[in-house]
Amino acid sequence: MAETLIAGVGATDFGEHAGRTGRELFAEARSSALEASGVSGSDVDALYYGNYMGETAEEQSHQAPLMAAGIGTTNLEATRIENACASGGYAIADGVRAIESGAADVVLVGGAERMTNLETGETTAVLARAADELHEGRPGLTFPGAYALLADAYMDRFGGSRDALAHIAVKNHANAATNPKAQFQSEIDVADVLEAPTVADPLGLLDACPITDGAAAAVLVSRAYAERNDLEAAVSIAGSGRGTDTLALQAREDVTRMRAAESAADAAYDQAGIAPEDVDVAEVHDCFTIAEVLALEALGFYEPGEAITAAADGETTADGERPVNLSGGLKAKGHPVGATGVGQLVELTKLLAGTHPNADAVADAEVGVTHNAGGTVATAAVHVLEVDS
């Protein structure tokens, strides 16, 4: 099985890009990744591109050939991946599988989303389509409401508090404050979170990620290609896993456990030959503060009911024993849906390579994990990244 190396990464700033199209955003990220990699566009065998809401936001379907334009070759396979908020993570997984199988030596993975050009209500409605239309959409459940239900269920079963959730938001804003790619580069405190307007009790405005425009890309290559072309890659993808759960929350036996993420993590860890305790740093899908709690437990970093106080106890902060979301996470860096999973890969690659603004916090890190989830984690993609020796 061929090994997958990350030859280069690139991304736009995450935030509002008024007047810029999705194709323009992705062109910037794609060009940055190719330039950083030292790989000729003519060598790219395949493009796997994540996008969720292009039909509504830009009235544009059939985006794969559109985003392949400008790579430098038309002799490639181009595929759009749509798996809600996990679209980018699944694009990476398809790229890894293509290299591991020997079907490709060079793969461009990426994603983009244009969201801020829509009214907030319209964006909320489009995002709600990633839930079960019959059992959740028709009754009017949106994702803030769905994650509020998860937070209630979690705290009813295990305890916890709004204050503990607020520390997660505070931590991630502190990380984003030193990340020039982040949408929110300002710090907040616990009082700010607790006093913010309620979105869906017990979650407030500062418990939720923003609406975001942005794009991200990465060039993945086989080790054989890297050796033939004298490429040096600081980071490899040692494990890749995907998982699925029921779409509707009501069909799940236990809504406090994210089975899709557990399955994805188990597969990624098994392929990489590691255990949760071997992970030094993580980028997880914190679309809401409670989502970070659920992710940390699904990844095996904490037993069920224990992750709620991780940020408040300083365990997942920049100076903690296992920093989480040094990029700022979705919460503060931003969440351009189709780009998010690849954006996590970009951030973690830079952290492990020592080129990220917050890399000093994990100067000795050798193993990192990305966790990208779709909807209420009906789908999940987990990747294990390692410093390449």
How does pLDDT run across 285-334, given as a tens digit for each residue?
A: 999 999 999 999 999 999 999 999 999 999 999 999 999 999 999 999 99
The two structure tokens encoding residue 280: 């030094």
85 annotated active-site: yes
Q: Are 381 and 264 in contact (CB under 8 A)?
A: yes
Terminal-residue alpha carbon distance, the chain = 18
Please give the average per-residue pLDDT across 163-169, as a whole number: 98
Count of helix runs (H) and strand runs (E) in the chain: 13, 11
pLDDT grade for 385, boundaries at 50, 70 and 90: very high
Report, as an integer, the average pLDDT of 45-54: 98
Q: Which tokens go with 377? A: 């984690």
Specify whether 167 is catalytic: no
Q: Give bridge partners of residue 324 from the DSSP assignment.
A: 282
Q: Kindly tell me if the per-residue pLDDT of 36 is higher than 90.
A: yes
- 99 closest CA partner among 232, 262, 218, 234: 218
* Cα–Cα distances in angstroms (integers) from residue 9 to residues 6, 13, 172, 235, 344, in the given order: 8, 13, 22, 11, 11
Instruction: Output the pLDDT for position 2.
Output: 78
Per the listing, tokens 């036996």 go with 253
User: Is this model's pTM higher than 0.95 or not?
Assistant: yes
Residue 207 DSSP one-character state:
G
Rounded CA separation 345/370 (Å): 7
Q: How confident is the model at residue 74 (pLDDT cuts 50, 70, 90)?
A: confident
Minimal CA–CA distance to 220: which of 5, 1, 42?
Answer: 5
Contacts of 217 (CB under 8 A, 6+ apart): 9, 10, 11, 26, 29, 30, 32, 33, 108, 109, 110, 111, 342, 346
Q: Are 340 and 88 in contact (CB under 8 A)?
A: yes
Q: What is the pLDDT of residue 1?
A: 67
Domain ranges across the chain: 4-118+211-387
How much is the pLDDT for 147? 98
- Please state whether beta strands 203-204 and 281-283 pair in parallel, antiparallel, or not at all (unpaired): unpaired
The active-site residue, picked from 173, 285, 335, 356, is 335
CATH topology of domain 4-118+211-387: Peroxisomal Thiolase; Chain A, domain 1 (3.40.47)
- Beta partners for residue 373, in sequence order: 380
Nearest to 192 by CA among 175, 160, 167, 215: 167
Structure tokens at 20: 């810029």
**Total number of residues shown for the chain:** 389
Compute the Cα dihedral for 137, 142, 143, 146 and give only its sign: negative
136 vs 12: CA distance, rounded Å: 34
Distance (Å) of CA 223 to CA 25, 326, 367: 29, 28, 19
